[in-house]
Structure 1
Amino acid sequence: METPSTGLDTPDSIAVALAELSARDPVIGEVLRQCGQPPPRRRDPGFEGLAHIVVGQQVSTASASAIWARLRALVEPFEPETLSRHTDEGLRGAGLSRPKVRTLRAVAEAATSGAIDFAELGGLDADTAHARLCAIHGIGPWTADIYLLFCLGHADAWPAGDLALQHAAGAALGLDARPDARQMATLGERWRPLRGAAALLLWAYYRHLRGRAGVAV
């Protein structure tokens, strides 16, 4: 099977990627048999997409939606230059914490200065794109990988620090304990260059496990 060249943005591209992984790794084949093929999970790319992920960190889904709606109404059009013109007080009035205001300002500055080129990221390998994003103040590994996977559909993005993904990988591989981010980085090597497809499937597996009575994850 061919590795999908356009990323994980359609059911067909995910099917191709998972078929290749299943042929290489019986663990993936068994997980796919149990929970089925996951759908694409896409968000808008670019500055707005990354900002949306930052806003949603460490808050409930409902809170994230409310804060994002207020911020999106305040910053119109939602572009780096427009956000930069707002005061910290104005941005915090939308519900943002001080660290998130600093991060969004850093992202806006990187975009306007050319330090980050959102259009270029999709053509880079996952590790290089990850490093470019993490070079922005306030953007950590999880945020970078979630952006690559959900906003760009990058076939090899691997959010090693995601707790649900850790639980699912540990269960699928029969590990005695949930692997940490460092261990996940090593485990993910078995699924290169399609770690993003493995991640989508393992998230589906996590939901599958949570739905089974008496199974703790």
Structure 2
Amino acid sequence: MTVHLNTQADLEGAVHALVQQDPRLLPILQLAGMPALRRRDPGYAGLAAIVCGQQLSTASAAAIWARLIAAFDPFHHETLRRARAERLGRLGLSAAKIKTLKSLAREIAAERLDLEALANEDADTAHDALTALHGIGPWTADVYLLFCLGHGDAWPAGDLAVQEAVKIGLGLRTRPTAKEMAPLAEPWRPLRGAAAHLWWTYYRVLKKREGVIGETENPPQKANAVLNKISVAKRSSAKAKITAAKRPGSKK
């Protein structure tokens, strides 16, 4: 039987059941406190919002989504299916995201995809059904199942914040990979979605910030490369200032 987290009471009941299933979670709950339920609109609009936010900051994603829903009111898959790619691009969507949103719209229009029916599927089956769609990776699928459908057993194994929280909370030596997160979460079935809410709250308390929302498909090397470029740029700027200060006539 699939558990649904549709209300705060549902989540609180699931978290208490989790602590009974796995006493290791009791100190996590005591430190983090009861998590708050997070929900988004289900269906095409909910999944489209997640797709729009992939690889973007929260502010940038919100701005693009606001322009999109203002341009297409009401927001409907059939409207997006017929919309010109050029118009969608002017609203801030990348070519890849336009292709994904149009592909999803075609699948729904052809009645090959029922996004809301996935709420009653086994979590792993629903996850596989979503990741089989063009442009939908594991993180996007899990976030949709958990936040849009309230699927009680959805498990965002690739979410970096959840991984880091699990590492600290369970006393692991290294942050677990998405593959390693699967067996770690087995004791929490069929309430892995509630466990994810708890781990996100634990992360926020430990790090004093919300978990970073990002695509799990992105290799961490990309983020490291960006940081390295920033570091090099700062060193170059500092070196230029020192050189300028040593030139004759420069102010000290």
Which has the greater radius of gyration?
2
User: Do they fold alike, i.e. is TM over 0.5?
Assistant: yes
Give the number of aligned pairs: 209
State yes or no: 1:27 paired with 2:24: yes
State yes or no: 1:88 paired with 2:85: yes
Letter aligned with residue 203 of structure 2: Y
Given candidates 142, 156, 159, the residue that maps to 1:145 is 142
Show CA shifts across 1:152-181 (max 9, x none): 110000010100010001111100111111
Q: Provide the TM-score with structure 1 as the length reference.
A: 0.93
The whole-number CA distance in structure 1 between the counterparts of 2:193 and 2:202 is 14
Contact 1:134-1:144 at 8 Å conserved across structures: yes
Structure 1 match to 2:196: 199
Letter aligned with residue 162 of structure 1: D
Extract unaligned runs of 5+ from structure 2. Answer: 210-252
State yes or no: 1:136 paired with 2:109: no
Q: Which runs of 4+ in 1 moved over 2 A?
A: none
The 1:4/1:85 distance shift into structure 2, 3 A limit, reads closer
State yes or no: 1:163 paired with 2:160: yes
Contact 1:31-1:172 at 8 Å conserved across structures: yes
Letter aligned with residue 189 of structure 2: R
Letter aligned with residue 207 of structure 2: R
Given candidates 29, 44, 47, the residue that maps to 1:47 is 44
The whole-number CA distance in structure 1 between the counterparts of 2:36 and 2:82 is 38
State yes or no: 1:110 paired with 2:107: yes
Show CA shifts across 1:118-152 (max 9, x none): 23111111111111111110001110100000001
Contact 2:2-2:120 at 8 Å conserved across structures: no
Letter aligned with residue 46 of structure 1: G
The whole-number CA distance in structure 2 between the counterparts of 1:146 and 1:89 is 28
Q: Provide the TM-score with structure 2 as the length reference.
A: 0.80
Shift of 1:185: 1.4
Given candidates 131, 134, 154, the residue that maps to 2:151 is 154
Contact 2:29-2:198 at 8 Å conserved across structures: yes
The whole-number CA distance in structure 1 between the counterparts of 2:48 and 2:116 is 15
